[in-house]
Amino acid sequence: MTTPDLYERTDITEAIRALKGDLLGPDGPRISTTRKYNFAILPYHPSDEIKLRRSVARLAEELRAEGWSVLSLALHRMLLDRLRRLEPAHMESVIARETRLHVKDPPRALTYLTEFLSHHIEGPDGLAADVGKAITDFKAQLPSPDAPAVVFVGRAGALYPFFRTSALLRHIDGHTGDVPVILLYPGERRGQSALSFMGELSPDRDYRPRIYP
**CATH number of the domain that residue 173 is part of:** 3.40.50
Q: Assess if residue 20 is contained within a domain.
A: yes
Q: Assess if residue 149 is contained within a domain.
A: yes
Structural domains counted in the chain: 1
Among 46, 52, 65, 40, residue whose Cα is nearest residue 14: 52
Q: What is the DSSP letter of 156?
A: G
Alpha-carbon distance 187 to 189, whole Å? Answer: 7
Q: Assess if residue 59 is contained within a domain.
A: yes
Q: Assess if residue 35 is contained within a domain.
A: yes
In 3-state terms the chain splits into helix, strand, coil percentages (rounded to 5) of: 45, 15, 35
Q: Do 187 and 178 touch, CB atoms closer than 8 A?
A: no
**Ramachandran region of residue 53, left (φ > 0), alpha (ψ -120 to 50) or beta?**
alpha
Q: Assess if residue 23 is contained within a domain.
A: yes
Among 200, 196, 202, 206, residue whose Cα is nearest residue 4: 196
Domain limits for position 150: 12-79+124-211
Q: Which helix (H) or strand (E) holds 124?
A: none
Q: What is the DSSP letter of 5?
A: P
pLDDT at 3: 41
Q: Assess if residue 117 is contained within a domain.
A: no
pLDDT at 57: 96
Neighbours of 6 (CB within 10 A): 10
Q: pLDDT truncated to tens, each residue of the chain (213 aa)?
A: 444 444 457 789 999 999 999 999 888 788 876 666 788 899 999 999 999 999 999 999 999 999 999 999 999 999 999 999 989 999 999 999 999 999 999 999 999 988 888 888 888 888 999 999 999 999 999 999 889 999 999 999 888 888 776 678 778 877 777 889 999 999 887 766 778 777 766 666 656 678 898
Q: Assess if residue 64 is contained within a domain.
A: yes
Q: Assess if residue 73 is contained within a domain.
A: yes
pLDDT at 203: 64
pLDDT at 121: 87
Q: Do 52 and 46 touch, CB atoms closer than 8 A?
A: no
Q: What is the DSSP letter of 19?
A: H
Q: Where are the alpha helices (DSSP H) in 85-153?
A: 88-104, 106-121, 127-140
Q: Do 24 and 68 touch, CB atoms closer than 8 A?
A: no
Neighbours of 48 (CB within 10 A): 16
